[in-house]
Amino acid sequence: MKDKIGKVTLDYKHYPGEDFYCDGDVEDELLEIVKNHSPEEFRKIIEERAKWPILYHLSPLRENIVDWLPVGKSDKVLEIGSGCGAITGKLAQKAGSVTSIDLSKKRSLINAYRHQDCGNVTIHVGNFKDIEPDLPADFDYICFIGVFEYGQSYIDTQNPYVDWLKMMRGHLKKNGRIVIAIENRLGLKYFAGCMEDHLGSYFSGIEDYAGGGGVRTFVRGRLEQMLQESGLAEYSFYYPYPDYKFMTALYSDRRLPKPGELYDNLRNFDRERMLFFDEKQAFDGIAKDGLFPVFSNSYAVIIGPEPDIAYVKYSNDRAEEYAIRTELRIEGQGMVIRKRALSKPAAEHIRGMGAAYLDLAERFEGSMLEMNKCRILEDGAGAEFEYVEGVTLEEILDGFLDRDDLDGFSVLFHEYKDRISYREDLPVADYDLIFANLLVPLQEERAWGDPEAVKAVPWTVIDYEWTFGKPISANETAYRALYCYVLENKKREKLDLSAMAQELGLTVEEQEACRAREMEFQKFVTGSRKSMGEIREAIGNQVMEPGKWLHKFDGSSKEDKVQVYVDRGKGFSEEDSYFVKDAYGAGREIRLTLPVDKDVKILRIDPAMDYCAVKIKKLLFNGTAIGNGRKRIVTNGRRLGEGSYVFATEDPNINIRLEDMEKRERNELEAEMEIVRLPSSIARDMADAAKKWF
């Protein structure tokens, strides 16, 4: 009836004798991993095997959804649908005892081997309806993490979700809490092109599950209705971002996201997805209009007393020594910010913030920059910061760009540069002094649009986590701030980053060095670990952008684009590329006039995103014709004749070698081309024929 794996108790009293659901061979693989490897090795295994189930079941980031809960050492926790134990270990670490329930014996074995050192965990294996009558009535927490949507399977009644909640009320201690984490049926990711998480089909939740199935997710209003029908009147809604599975931030009605914060949206680890629009831009508009609770991808519902946490941000997708949690807490009538180390090595990083506060406060004393006050907590593994009201400099600068007021933007940027220049020769510098980390104490939105009002008040540095004991030039800090600012939002591409860098007095070589240091810094933060983005790429599920190929079906030219890549000696990258507006003229003509920096080695022109044939009619560099001698023009197509090429690829490119061309300080390339789109079969036949001819 009972078994022990390490210190974990497995209770088989209600086990029916066989598992009624299984994910196949991957569960055997998971069992092999947890039997033979420690949890500290899981991250490396996730990166090496690059499989969605391995990531989903073993990633420590799964624990974030319960890590923030105020579970105490004397609390009793009930975990319904514990599966392979993604959150069991974190609950066991926080609580006095954890009672877990799961129908699958194999998954329960995986859970037990994974957490065999946890003597406060008991796993009941079997059908929930059989186990429920034996459960006590004194749980402090009852957790439905990714489980409530299966209510029809667990509770076979006419109103299963309401009946389930009513049933669980009877097992909850007075002032206890029920925690539900569930997808939002109308989450923005589903409109943007993600498949429904459980059914693996497009728009099934949006269409209110018209095709049937045993799973249901809900909008906030429907969840609230069910809570009220269940007699559960005390509850609060939280919003895990990007979703509850791999949550990196948690918002609430007391602290909703601001424009610019929701940028990490490509989270399709499990399946291919479409990408109909830029979710970041959509979220920015949703945040401005106060609609985030409607379109949040997931909900975390806390039934019972509202926790005193209004916002949490996790930075544990990093090297272990920098893994921290940032909280916005309600204390009395006010708020306070706390940062906590999520590992023993990270405690030193937290203490470093206290030293950084003192050093930076001394450097900027007498300036118009103030440091957000920091106090290291008694245990040395946490820091407390003053909560400051205001608006970020990033939001203010965005407002100027939205109004096309580049002069106002320039005034404030130069004010920023002047302020960060204060005593820049001292051996202390905040490397991450970006616009989002500066708070301007202006309450009225009207004042944001007045550069003089913004200049008249001191600005507060609200995050100085990455402070180093060496001088860093204000020019480099300002360039990095601009670089990060432009990269994070397509709307900001109207800024001429190169021209602004020249205003700062940075040469092209110095700009390249700054970008290289930024890449080194990012690897410094993540250490040897792969980021979640890199893991997504390794798993290999596609992101398909219909906008790039719709024209193939309707014959339209609205998606005609010319993209230009610049190689300055380190190869091509998306980062150093741009699209040319209005390159397509009447008929099949492409006309380009491109500025070329002195350090450019190769200029690559992608005339389309389709199979095509191209005739280069004119190609001039500083007014001089470029011939094909010495292989100045290199393409990934087949040559048909003088200046004519056929491209049997959806990524045609024309490389123009400029290494030994005589250059001025300012250079210009002019090009005229004629282009004809081709069906893929004809393009391939022409390319094969050209191979024989030439």
What span, in angstroms and rounded, lies between the C-alpha atoms of 627 and 605?
16
* H or E element in which residue 370 lies: strand 369-371
Residue with tokens 């050192």: 117
Length of the chain: 694
Task: Check if the beta carbon of residue 144 is closer than 8 Å to that of residue 180.
Answer: yes
Residues in CB range of 298: below 8 A, 6 or more apart: 181, 182, 183, 184, 187, 239, 240, 241, 243, 244, 245, 247
For the chain, which residues score pLDDT lower than 50? 554-558, 694
Pick from 482, 508, 502, 375: which is nearest to 420 by CA?
Answer: 482
What are the helix (H) ranges across 297-450? Answer: 346-363, 393-402, 406-420, 445-448
Q: What pLDDT does residue 31 have?
A: 97
Residue with tokens 């895990």: 240
pTM of the complete model? 0.80
Structure tokens at 685: 């036949």
Task: Check if the beta carbon of residue 98 is closer than 8 Å to that of residue 72.
Answer: no
Residue range 318-528 forms a domain whose CATH class is mainly alpha
Task: Check if the beta carbon of residue 82 is closer than 8 Å to that of residue 99.
Answer: no
Structure tokens at 317: 């997708």
Going from the C-alpha of 419 to that of each of 69, 423, 434, 473, the distances in angstroms are 40, 10, 13, 12
Residue 152 gets the label, from left (phi > 0), alpha (psi -120 to 50) or beta, of: alpha
Q: What pLDDT does residue 555 have?
A: 47
Structure tokens at 461: 């540095």
Sign of CA dihedral 442, 447, 449, 451: negative
| Element counts in the chain: helices (H) and strands (E) | 24, 34
Instruction: Sort strands 382-386 and 429-430 into parallel, antiparallel or unpaired.
Output: unpaired
Q: Where are the domains of the chain?
A: 1-145, 318-528, 545-693
- 1-145 matches 318-528 in fold: no
Residue range 1-145 forms a domain whose CATH class is alpha beta
Cis peptide, bond prior to residue 242, ω within 30 of zero? yes
One-character DSSP codes across 311-356: EEEEE-SS-GGG-EEEEEEEETTEEEEEEEESSTTHHHHHHHHHHH
Q: What pLDDT does residue 609 have?
A: 86
Q: What pLDDT does residue 557 have?
A: 47
Pick from 244, 284, 277: which is nearest to 263 by CA?
Answer: 284
